[in-house]
Structure 1
C-alpha cells in the first residue's frame, strides 16, 4: 500500500505457536465460529511465516492464493462466469528496477436481491513484498487484514444477501504497481459500465493509531458521503473522511495509493477504507502479534456497516 518503500530493520520474527509451520496449507472450514474467530484466523494464517511475505510470483503467494480460494469455497461464494482465477502478466517495479511479473487475481460473486445487473466490486490485495535480506515481511496489516475483512464481509453477505450484486476480488501485484487491479479494469468479468462502485480495503487492522478508519474518495464522489455519515462508531473506532483533496499532497493523498487507483483512472467510482500509517508499515515487524484483536474486529464491523449503508443507498 501507498509509498511502497521497503525499510528493513533488524528484529526477531516470532509469531505465536498457533500459526502454521512447514509447507502444509491450512484447511478452510465451514464449521461455525464464535464472534470474530474466523476473521482473526484468516489474518493469522495469511500473515504467517509460511506465506513468505506473499510476493507476487512466489511460492508463498501461491499458498496464500490457495488459502483464499479455499475460504471462498467454504463460505459458498460462487465463481463468476469467467472463472475463479484471473491470471495476468505485466511489467512492474522491483528492488532491482523493472521486472515482468506473473500474477493471479481471485474472484467471487454474490448476486443481489434488488439490483442484479449492477455491481459493487469489493477488493483487497493479498500480495506483500516478500523476503529481503533474510527477513520476512509478513504484511499482517498490509494487507492480510484487508483480505480478512473482505472474507468476513462475504460471510455476512451469504447470511444476509446484498441488494446489489457484489464481485469480490483479491488482487495480486498491488505492491508492484497495482498490477492486478490494472488488469482487472482492462478485462473485467462484467462490462465496466455496470460497475457502480469499487470498495477497496487496504490496511484495516491498526486503527488504534488515531481511532479512525479513513474513507478516501468522497471528495471525488460527494454523493456517497451522506450515505456514510450516519454510520456510527464501533467501539472507539469511527469513520473519518479525507486524504483525497487537492490540499492533501504527497503521502497524505491516497486517491491512487492502492488498487482503487486503477478504478479511479478508469472513471469508476471508488471508496478506499484503511488506517493511517504506523511504525510497522512496510517493515518486517508488521506481524500478527502486533494486532489488537478488539480494534481489528471493531474496524471490520465498521467497514461492513459502511458497506451495508452504501448497498442500501445506491441506485435509489
Structure 2
C-alpha cells in the first residue's frame, strides 16, 4: 500500500491554495488519490465524486489546460432521474427530488487548429458497491476502482501533459467523464451538449481499464474499423504490445457515445480480471510500467496523425446487436484478450456451475453440448441454448490436455 506520509503530502498540495510552480505528478500518485478510501469509490453524484472532480480540475489547471466546461469553468454538470426500469432511457432533467447530478471535468489545449482531437476516460466508479458490483459479501465495502478507471484517468492526464509540449496540428479536448458506470451518461450528455463544435472533431480516444497489462503485453484496441488509417498506424507504431484489434465502434464504454455521432474512435483496454467491480480493485495491483508504455504509445499515435487531414469515418458492424440473450450463466469471467480457438476462462465465481464442475482459470472451453466453441460469440450462442436445470457436457483444454466435464445450470 502507498506510504501514508507521501499520500498526505500529495493531497495537501492539490487541495490547498495554488502553488507558484505546478508539481510534476506521476501515474502512481494520481491513482493513489483517485483510488484512495477517502473518496469512497467515486460514485456518481456523491460528495466523494465532487472531491475527485475538484482534484481533476486542479490537475488540469496545473498542467496548463484551459477550462472547457460550462460558463468558463472546467465542470459540465448534468442532472438525471435514476432509471426504475432497466430498459428505459435515462431522462436528463432539472435538479429536484430524486435526481442525481454528475460532473464531467473538461480541459482544452487551443492550438488554433482547424480540428480537435477528443481524449477521454471516466472517473466515476461504484461507491460502496452500487448496481453492477460483483462483490457478494454481506457488509458494504468501498469499491476503489483503481483499474476501473483511475488507471485510465491517470494515463489521460499524462497524455494531456505531453500534448502541452508537442503535436500542434490539432486542438485537444481532455475530458474525464462522470456517470459511465450508470450507462455512459456523462459522455452521452456531452455529445448532446458539446462545449466545442463536434463537426470539427477529428477523432476520439478512450482509455478504460488500462492498468493491468499482462506479462504477455496484450493490449486490446477496439474501434479500428471506424477509420481506414487505424490498423496500419497502430501496427506501424507498435514496439511493446501484443495487439488484439477489434473493428467495432460499439462497446460498453464512453467511446460509443462519440461513434454514434459519426466520429472515429479507439478504446484502449488491458483486459478483465477477477477484481473487476469488486472492493479488491486497488492501486497496488496495477502495472505502472505498462501504463507508461500505453501513455507513450497513445502520444506517438497522436503525433503520427498530427499533420494528416481529418480522419474519414466508417460505420462498423454492431457486434452487440448479435449477442444472444441468456437464461443461465456458467459463472466465469471470459478472457476477452484471448485470440486463440475457444473461450479461455480468466476467473471462476464461487458457488456457480463452473466452479462446481471443477473448471479453473486458464481452462479453454472448446465445446458445449453439440456446439463447437471457437470464440466468444460462438460461446455465447451455445450458452443461450440452455435453461435453468439443464445439464450438458463441456469440453475444455487444460495445459494442452483435453477433458470433459458436466455442467448443471
Corresponding position of 1:9: none
Aligned to 1:130: 127
| 2:277 counterpart SS class | coil
Corresponding residue for 1:305? 300
Provide the C-alpha distance between the structure 1 equivalents of 2:34 and 2:259, rounded to a whole number of angstroms.
28
| Partner of residue 60, structure 1 | 48
The alignment covers a number of residue pairs equal to 286
**1:27 has 2:9 as partner:** no
Cα RMSD after superposing both structures: 2.8
8 Å contact kept, 2:188–2:257: yes
Which structure has more helix as a fraction of its residues?
1
1:156 equivalent among 136, 159, 162: 162
State the secondary structure of the residue aligned to 1:262: helix
User: In 1, Cα distance between the equivalents of 2:99 and 2:251?
Assistant: 22
Compare CA radii of gyration and give the structure with the larger one: 2
Deviation at 1:239, TM superposition (A): 3.8
Output one character per residue of 1:61-116: Cα deviation in whole Å (capped at 9) or x when no partner: 01100100000111111113743111101244599998742101111111236xx1
How far off its partner does 1:306 sit? 2.5
SS in 2 for 1:57: coil
Q: Which moved more, 1:306-315 or 1:162-171?
A: 306-315
Q: Which of 15, 26, 38 is the equivalent residue of 2:26?
A: 38
Q: Deviations over 1:220-254 (max 9, x none)?
A: 333322222211223xx344312x45xxxxxxxx7
Cα distance in 2 between the residues matched to 1:141 and 1:64 = 16
Determine the C-alpha separation between the residues in 2 that align with 1:255 and 1:210.
26
SS at match of 1:53: coil
1:5-52: CA deviations, max 9, x gaps? xxxxxxxxx66535747xx6651775564xxx6122111111111111
Mapping 1:1-316, distance limit 5 Å: 16-18=3-5, 20=7, 27=14, 30-31=21-22, 33=24, 38-80=26-68, 82=70, 83=72, 84-92=74-82, 100-112=99-111, 116-132=113-129, 133-208=139-214, 210-234=216-240, 237-242=241-246, 244-245=247-248, 255-315=250-310
How far, CA to CA, are the matches of 1:63 and 1:176 in structure 2?
19
Secondary structure, counterpart of 2:125 in structure 1? coil
From the superposition, tell whether residues 81 and 49 of structure 1 become closer, same or farther in structure 2 (CA, over 3 Å): closer
* Secondary structure at the counterpart of residue 207 of structure 1: coil
Partner of 1:250: none
Contact 1:85 1:105 in 2 (8 A): yes
In the aligned structure 1, how far is the partner of 2:69 from the partner of 2:291? 33
Aligned to 2:398: none
**Can you give the 5+ residue segments of structure 1 that lack an aligned partner in the other structure?**
1-13, 246-253
Question: Is the alpha carbon distance of 1:103 and 1:42 closer, same or farther for their aligned partners in structure 2, counting shifts above 3 Å?
Answer: same
Higher relative contact order (CA 8 A, sep 6+): 1
Aligned to 2:134: none
Tell me the secondary structure at the aligned position of residue 294 of structure 1.
Answer: helix
Change in CA separation of 1:76 and 1:277 when aligned onto 2, cut-off 3 Å: same
Separation in structure 2 between the aligned mates of residue 229 and residue 161 of structure 1, nearest angstrom: 20
TM-score (norm 1): 0.81
Q: Measured at CA, do residues 166 and 313 of structure 1 come closer, stay the same or move farther in structure 2, by a change above 3 Å? A: same
Match of 2:132 in 1: none
Compared CA separation, residues 200 and 211, structure 1 to 2 (3 A): same
Tell me which residue corresponds to 1:7.
Answer: none
Q: Does structure 2 conserve the Cα–Cα contact (< 8 Å) formed by 1:25 and 1:67?
A: no
Q: TM-score by structure 2 length?
A: 0.64
The separation in 2 between residues aligned to 1:26 and 1:94, in whole angstroms, is 41
